[in-house]
Structure 1
Amino acid sequence: MSKNRRSRTSRRADPGLGGEVTWTPEAIRALGASTNLHTAAQIFGLAMSTAYLLAKRGQFPVPVIRVGTQYRVPVQPILAALCLESGHDQPP
């Protein structure tokens, strides 16, 4: 008997592409003000175990906010770290 589980993260994946997530600047901006650690780790290409370790040590590539038992990551610092904060997708 299989259980129907709901994912904790919202993934922007095309099911026809094997579930791989491609994070475009527009998709990152569409996350809103903050996202969860899993999504931020995907954006930076980090494994979840590495992401949790870095967050716990305060060494994640951008600031991480702990809210109870969850981590939240502001989107603006992600855009800044990827040089995408100005709204221009092409580097100068």
Structure 2
Amino acid sequence: MAKETWHEGEIRGLGARTDLRTACDILGMGHTAGYRMAKNGTFPVPLIKVGRSYVVPVAHLLDLLGLSRGSEMAAA
């Protein structure tokens, strides 16, 4: 089951890259739609195709969500 809400620290905690399913969860889109968009080249962030899989750079997700790549989130 997919997470309902991803927080900034959780996204940053993924490291440099993640898989397409996780990226879809973060963006609140269905996996089928996400894979279709990836195949058609219309996924909202650039993807890296590795064999039959897609790799999503977390930095591009952060940019799309309006979260600065370089700065860490403020302490809660």
Q: TM-score, normalised by structure 2?
A: 0.85
Q: Which runs of 4+ in 1 moved over 4 A?
A: none
**Which residue in the other structure is 2:17 paired with?**
34
Report the CA distance between 1:88 and its aligned residue: 6.5
Identity over aligned pairs, percent: 43
From 60, 70, 74, give the equivalent of 2:57: 74
Report the CA distance between 1:44 and its aligned residue: 0.5
Answering whether residue 10 of structure 2 is matched by residue 55 of structure 1, we say no
| Matching residue's letter, 1:51 | G
Structure of higher CA gyration radius:
1
Report the CA distance between 1:85 and its aligned residue: 1.8
Q: TM-score, normalised by structure 1?
A: 0.71
* 5+ long unaligned stretches in structure 2: none
SS of 1:71 mapped into structure 2 = strand
Report the CA distance between 1:20 and its aligned residue: 5.4
| Matching residue's letter, 1:63 | P
* 5+ long unaligned stretches in structure 1: 1-18
RMSD: 1.8
Report the CA distance between 1:52 and its aligned residue: 0.4
Measured in 2, the distance between the counterparts of 1:27 and 1:75 equals: 11
| Matching residue's letter, 2:31 | M
